[in-house]
Amino acid sequence: MIHPSYVELMKKVNQDVVVGEEPVVNSRYSIVCATAKRAREIIDGAEPMNIENADKKKALSIAVEELYNGDLKILSEEEVEEKNKKLQELKEDLSTDKYAYEKYINTEKETEAVVEE
């Protein structure tokens, strides 16, 4: 048996959705795509986020755990576009604002999320 289950993951991802709004994740397919994408990133060298004994776990198990713990967020395409615009603006400010680099790094970390497919 898979732990956490798809149902548990979907509840966890959608827990902050206000009643009446469309949930972030509507299907198991979205969960599978998100965790598979993150697992590929980990395989390619990305650092796991706040996972104990990550070196002893498989990439997919780490990705599922990150999603369940809330370290990994699934964003809609609109949210990703908004974050990318914000990143672009901050990149342009890097040459003039001495604090822009810190803002850029913090925003880039927030953007390292998975897009719902």
Q: Identify the CATH number of the domain in which residue 6 sits.
A: 3.90.940
Structural domain count, the chain? 2
Do 16 and 26 fall into the same domain?
Answer: yes
Domain hosting 14: range is: 1-72
Do 56 and 80 fall into the same domain?
Answer: no
Whole-angstrom Cα Rg for the chain: 16
d(CA 75, CA 69): 16
Residue 78 vs residue 101, higher pLDDT: 78
Do 66 and 81 fall into the same domain?
Answer: no
- Rounded average pLDDT over 24-51: 87
Question: What is the pTM assigned to this prediction?
Answer: 0.65
Contact 104, 97 (CB under 8 A): no
pLDDT of the residue at 19: 73
Work out the mean pLDDT of the chain and round it to a whole number.
78
Do 57 and 14 fall into the same domain?
Answer: yes
Confidence of residue 40 (pLDDT cuts 50, 70, 90): very high
Do 26 and 49 fall into the same domain?
Answer: yes
d(CA 58, CA 46): 13
